[in-house]
Amino acid sequence: MEPEPVEVGADGIRLGQLLKLVGVVDTGGAARELLDGGDVRVNGKAESRRGRQLRPGDVVTAGGRELRLT
């Protein structure tokens, strides 16, 4: 299955903001819980930093969804 495209622009987006933008979580606190649980991967590697800067081309897996930033 192809990852869902998510347009973020050339400047990218922080991981916590992305999770809220696409509806995986509703709040920053919920994002923190998801990250602390080891349930978020960026480019195939577990990620725990809510402030991780993402760029177009990155693939994020969280909440049963796979997202490719464009």
Q: How far is CA 7 from CA 26, 40, 56, 58, 62, in A?
A: 19, 19, 8, 11, 17
Domain locations in the chain as residue ranges: 4-69
d(CA 6, CA 37): 24
CB atoms within 10 A of CB 30: 14
Give, as one character, the DSSP assignment of residue 4: E
Residues 25-61 have pLDDT tens digits of: 999 899 999 999 999 999 999 999 999 999 999 999 9
E strand or H helix at 69, and its extent?
strand 65-69
**What's the pLDDT score for residue 38?**
92
Architecture of the domain defined by 4-69: Roll (3.10)
Work out the average pLDDT over 15-19. Answer: 97
The position carrying tokens 């725990």 is 48
Q: What is the value of pTM for the model shown?
A: 0.93
